[in-house]
Amino acid sequence: MFTLAKRAMSWLSKLQIVVALSTVEVEYMTTTKACKKAIWIQRLMEELRHKQQKIIVYCDNQNSLLIARNPTIHSRIKPIGVQ
């Protein structure tokens, strides 16, 4: 869910279209989609002349955060390499 001025402006709840083998994969894919949406919202807000300083994306899976922060791990994770 994305908020603006403490109000929900965008949210999504649906079944995954990809079969994941672990919760790490699911969390990583979901976080990736959230980041894509955040970039889109940030660009929209810039067009409306509202400069957003930063966007915070929350993720509670430590292993998926490790994957996102460490680019050298990507080569060892073939199933989610597309994301």
pLDDT at res. 79: 53
Phi-psi region of 6 (alpha: psi -120 to 50; beta: other; left: phi over 0): left
pLDDT at res. 7: 86
Per-residue pLDDT tens for 45-58? 889 888 877 888 88
SS3 state of residue 1 = coil
pLDDT value at 34 more than 70: yes
For the residues 76-83, what does the mean pLDDT come to?
54
Check: CB of residue 9 under 8 Å from CB of residue 3: yes
Angle between helices 23-47 and 62-69 (to 10 degrees): 60
- pTM recorded for the entire structure: 0.68
Range with the poorest average pLDDT among 2-11, 18-27, 44-53: 18-27
Check: CB of residue 65 under 8 Å from CB of residue 34: no
